[in-house]
Amino acid sequence: MRVIVLGGGVVGVTTAFYLSRHGCDVTVVDRASQVGDGASHANAGQLSYSFTDTLAKPEFLARIPGLVLGRDRGVKVRLSPRLIAWGGRFVAQCTSSQAKANTIAVLKIAMRSADLLTELREELPFDFWHREAGKLVILSTEDEVDGARANLEVKREYGCDAELLTRDEAMTVEPALEQMRGDIAGAVYSRSDEVADSQLFSAGLRDLLEAQGAVEFRLSSRARKLVKADGRLRAVVVDDDTLEADAFVVCMGAWSHELLRTVGINPNIFPVRGYSLTLPPGDASPMVSVTALRHRMVYSRLNGLVRIAGFADFRGFDTSADEKRSKLLLDLARRYAPEAADYGADDPKAWGGFRPMTPNGQPHVGPTSIPGLYLNTGHGMLGWTLACATSYDAANLITNVH
Cα dihedral 303/309/314/318 (nearest 10): -60
Query: Alpha-carbon distance 196 to 132, whole Å?
Result: 9
Nearest to 378 by CA among 157, 106, 4: 106
End-to-end CA distance of the chain: 17
What is the model's pLDDT at position 401?
A: 65
What is the model's pLDDT at position 402?
A: 42
Query: Alpha-carbon distance 301 to 297, whole Å?
Result: 14
**Coil, helix or strand at residue 229:** strand
Query: Alpha-carbon distance 257 to 267, whole Å?
Result: 6
Angle among Cα 271, 275, 278 to the nearest 5 degrees reads 145
Q: At what angle do helices 383-398 and 10-21 cross, to 10 degrees?
A: 30
Residues belonging to the chain = 402
Domains and CATH numbers, the chain: 2-398 (3.50.50.60)
Phi then psi for residue 91, to 5 deg, are -60, -35
Q: How far lies 32's CA from each of 8, 76, 80, 81, 105, in Å?
A: 8, 27, 27, 28, 32
What is the model's pLDDT at position 182?
A: 84
* Contact status, residue 134 vs residue 191, Cβ threshold 8 Å: yes
Q: How many other CB atoms sit within 10 Å of the CB of residue 266?
A: 11
Q: How far lies 49's CA from each of 40, 53, 117, 200, in Å?
A: 17, 10, 11, 19
Phi then psi for residue 254, to 5 deg, are -65, -20
State the pTM of this model.
Answer: 0.97
Which residues of the chain, if any, have pLDDT below 50? Answer: 402
Rounded to the nearest integer, the mean pLDDT of the chain is: 96
Q: How far lies 287's CA from each of 102, 280, 346, in Å?
A: 30, 13, 23
**Coil, helix or strand at residue 318:** coil
Beta pairing partners, 341: 281
Query: Alpha-carbon distance 298 to 288, whole Å?
Result: 11
- 140 Cα distance to chain centroid: 25
Q: How many other CB atoms sit within 10 Å of the CB of residue 143?
A: 11
* Contact status, residue 94 vs residue 61, Cβ threshold 8 Å: yes
Angle among Cα 337, 175, 312 to the nearest 5 degrees reads 40
